[in-house]
Chains A and B, each alone.
Chain A
Amino acid sequence: MTLRAALLAAALVLPLPAVAAPRTTLVVGMAAQDVGRLDPHFAVSTPDRAVVAWMFNALVRFKPGSMSPGDIEPDLAESWESSRDRKVWTFHLRHGVRFHGDYGELTADDVVFSLRKSADHNRSAVSGDFAAFDQIEAIDPYTVRITLKQTVPSLLGILTNYGGGFIVSRKAVEKLGDAFARAPIGTGPFAYASLTPNQSLELDAHTAYFRGAPKLAHISYRFLPSNASRDLAFENGELDLAFGMQDQTWVTRTRRNPNAIVDVFEPGEAALLHLNITQKPLDDIRVRRAIAYAVNRPELLRWQGADVSRQPGSVIPIGNLGYTADNGLPQHNLDKARALLAEAGYANGLTIKVIHTQLPSMLAQMQVVQAELKRAGITLDLQVVEHATYHQMIRQDLSPIVFYNAARFPVADIYLTQFYHSRSTVKTPTAVTNFSHCNAADAEIDAARTEPDEQKQLALWQVAQGKIIARLCAVPLIETLQAWVRRADLDYGFPLKGSLSLGPVITEATHFK
């Protein structure tokens, strides 16, 4: 008798329950070797970001399934108000919110501690987001006041359930010290239970969760780095939810499985070529324009797949508050590209050395761009290095062209400031990710940040995009959306359209049908 036949026979002999109980354990497959730091203020990789969002809350949150700034709603704060000049904000906390384990009730003291920790570069990876914060203070156990040095376009955005907005237990951080990053304490619907290195992170339902006990009892977050075996595990029914591939072939193939639902959602990670306007030959606007004309975005879109990507129209991602498409972005035209090169003295073409990552998805995209530019006579001599090395080298200004893929909080100010403001230029004390040394729209970016009139603010951001495109500090290539797959009977409890944590938000409402 085969093993299968034996199991079948055993199943027939054993009495079946009258009604099968709904499953309450969610098994998730993540593309990761392991998790890194689970302290939410240090959770920067996709595997860490996705899972901390299930364990923590913030003062405010994006409505589950959305990442639109218009969908921000109360979370730990039940209400808030701001002064007329939007520099002083007062948040009123919910009563009775419990931390995981024995860490008691959330109070204003925890909120003040958390936000100060987020703003402290010694204790947070996202302290830059809090540069405008002046004071964070507890008025009473359930009231927190934030005073800003200057207004910011979206204070609520900084305080959402993303990055530095997450609220931790002061008592737990002080008691656990460095161990907090291994076994964190939050107020979210799921609490840390255990971690097996290289295998899985186990989470238990936080039964005292303030929105009600989660319908799921347990989450097993498995680290499965191989795309092929993660797919096989999903096909085999060993996973309920899995990280997918931003690739049309994968989407098409996976959708053939009748028990699978493919979720493609925001944010779109915007890929751009950042052109260093201070280095030869890119200091010549004609060369930069030639590159812009040589790039064929429709071709890139066809290659990546229409279900998982879209064509960008500006130097900030689609969907950002303040995004405008009609800024005079050059469209593909090989004749113009060749003519501009000839005019710039490169009639026989030119070669540019570019440092690039060996990360397969980014390398493949860059190779398509390389082929497109080659048609215009521009040879990209790719120096492919390991991913961490690439990050270090591009920040040392060693690559005249930088291919960079990123998603940020969807307000134009963030992307414009980090990528195009001269203060963010790499190799400066205030560096972020301005690889092009762009300084075309500093005044508009700064003015928009403090502009109280929303329409004027939007207009300033539009002018900024236009100026950056006119200077061609960067050439937009493609935007790639997030792709996950779940079993058809898994219901998130909300329609999933976007998630800043880059993974589906698992809430108290998530359940198996």
Chain B
Amino acid sequence: MIATVVRRLLAAIPTLLAVLTLVFVIVRIVPGDPAAAILGDRATPAAVAALQAKLGLDQPVWAQYVSFLRQYLSGDFGVSMVTNRPILADVAAVLPHTIDLTLAAMLIGTLIGIPAGVSAALHRNGVIDVAARLLSLIGLSFPVFVSGIFLLLAFALHWRIFPVIGNANLADPLDRLTKLVLPAATLGLVMAAYITRVTRSAMLQVLSEDYIRTARAKGVPWRGVVWRHGLRNAGLPVVTVVGLYVGILIGNSVLTEIVFNRPGLGRIIVGALNQRDYTTLQGLMVIYCFLIVVVNLLTDLAYGVIDPRVKQA
């Protein structure tokens, strides 16, 4: 197990390097001068040129790339071009919020999605199946900025159970939990909709397999057939979807963060993109890439738990 983890982490190094290079190129291809964006519309050309020089943007691109690689390989993520704040400090300040939201959404998504998908498959074309499919369609059709506002109107404005501003005090667990409920529900319900559909279709396929019939013929109770033989074998695609979705959630929860006024990695990325804050964008992309590598690794390890043949392979 440890060897697998180490091997996978080592294998991620070329991926990280490729991402670094790609990010470096992409942020420079996008039009828009960071110095001009920072200084605003009253800055003189001399002021813009001076800031470009200070930020190293007057150097040839290859020289910028070399110094960028040297900096990252020495573990220095630098400071934001716009705010002058250390990038890692900004990330450290918001990362717990992102992790809270991602894990809570994943929990809600799997706790609702897997049982709903299994029930739908077991009652194929019945009332439960139709209801599950309909609800999952609704869940997938509503953009989070719409469902989020509806939840705020109901639970913050009408019943006044939760606050609108979701920037929690990390040192206060109750505050943290209270401000997590609505955004996690918003994202979790979308994830549940995905998982319901994937679980349903995987279960339908598995339930028609010979070994299920054999298990039933041997007299294994139906509950055991479903959960031990059925769900376990249908688990691989479900875990894949959960893994992929968690990866997406880490960076793409920006709309939820904006609607619920939560800090998070997504919001930093959007702010950095608008301001052409190259250094922050680069730093966040590396961190994001690293988190994706970790999530993929965990997903792969989960495969081994679900299906021992994967581990042996």
Contact = CB atoms under 8 A, between A and B. Distances in A.
B149 interface: yes
B37 A224 contact: no
A182 B83 CA distance: 7
B259 A391 contact: no
A421 to B, nearest CB: 14
Interface in B82-102: 82-85, 89-90, 93-94
A122 B82 CA distance: 15
A179 B164 contact: no
Contacts, number: 169
Given A127-B44, A388-B274, A430-B45, A226 B258 contact: yes
Contacts of A222: 165, 167, 261
Interface string B14-43: 000000000000000011110011111111
A163 B39 CA distance: 12
Interface in B121-155: 145, 149, 152-153
A225 interface: yes
A23 interface: no
Nearest to B37: A388
A391 B258 contact: no
Contacts of A44: 38-43
Contact of A34 (B37, B89, B259, B271): B271
A364 interface: no
B85 A235 contact: no
A121 B275 CA distance: 20
B274 A387 contact: yes
B160 interface: yes
Contacts of A178: 79, 84
B261 A233 contact: yes
A118 B79 CA distance: 23
Nearest to B39: A125
Contacts of B90: 197-198
A65 to B, nearest CB: 24
A36 B275 contact: yes
A37 B263 CA distance: 19
B82 A37 contact: yes
Contacts of B260: 229
Contacts of A432: 42, 44
Interface string B244-279: 000000000000011111011001101100111000
Interface string A36-73: 11000010110000000000000000000000000000
A306 interface: no
Contacts of B287: none
Contact of A198 (B37, B89, B94, B164): B94
A386 B32 contact: yes
A276 to B, nearest CB: 18
Contact of B267 (A198, A200, A395, A431): A198
A128 B44 contact: yes
A196 interface: yes
Nearest to B33: A392
A355 B156 CA distance: 41
B50 A128 contact: no
B61 interface: no
Interface in A96-153: 121-122, 124-129
Contacts of B259: 226, 228-229
Contact of A4 (B44, B47, B159, B164): B159
B164 A233 contact: yes
B80 to A, nearest CB: 9
Contacts of B2: none
A485 to B, nearest CB: 15
Contacts of A389: 30-32
B237 interface: no
A222 B42 CA distance: 26
Contact of A232 (B31, B50, B79, B157): B157
A128 B275 contact: no
Contacts of B32: 386, 388-389, 391-392
Given A197-B263, A388-B37, A393-B31, A229 B149 contact: yes
Counting chain A CB atoms within 10 Å of each CB, the highest count among B94, B152, B164, B270 belongs to B164
A11 interface: no
Contacts of A239: 165
A236 B149 CA distance: 13
Contacts of A45: 40
A146 to B, nearest CB: 20
B46 interface: yes
A371 interface: no
Contacts of B38: 36-37, 42, 44, 125
B161 interface: yes
A100 B33 CA distance: 35
B163 interface: yes
A29 B261 CA distance: 10
Interface string A391-424: 1110100000000001000000000001000000
A199 interface: yes
Interface string B164-183: 11010000000000000000
Contacts of A163: 42
A196 B41 CA distance: 27
A386 B93 CA distance: 28
A196 B165 contact: no
A238 B164 contact: yes
B5 to A, nearest CB: 31
A385 interface: yes
A391 B263 contact: no
A127 B47 contact: yes
A179 B33 CA distance: 23
Interface in A208-261: 222, 224-226, 228-230, 232-233, 235-236, 238-239
Interface string A75-92: 000000000000000000
A469 B29 CA distance: 39
Given A33-B271, A37-B82, A125 B40 contact: yes
A35 B43 contact: no
A121 B50 contact: yes
Contact of B163 (A197, A225, A230, A236): A236
Contacts of A42: 38-39
B45 A431 contact: yes
Contact of B41 (A197, A236, A385, A391): A391
A264 to B, nearest CB: 24
B170 to A, nearest CB: 9
A236 B258 contact: no
Contacts of A22: none
A73 B188 CA distance: 56
Nearest to B263: A198
Nearest to A181: B84
Contact of A391 (B36, B156, B159, B161): B36
A430 B43 CA distance: 10
Nearest to B97: A198
A199 B157 contact: no
Q: Which 10 A-B pairs have the closest CB atoms?
A: A44-B40, A198-B263, A388-B32, A33-B271, A121-B47, A233-B164, A125-B39, A199-B167, A197-B90, A389-B31
Given A197-B263, A392-B32, 7 more contacts: A29-B165, A33-B271, A33-B274, A196-B93, A198-B257, A225-B258, A232-B152
Interface of B: 30-33, 36-47, 50, 54, 79, 82-85, 89-90, 93-94, 145, 149, 152-153, 156-157, 159-161, 163-165, 167, 257-261, 263-264, 267-268, 270-271, 274-276
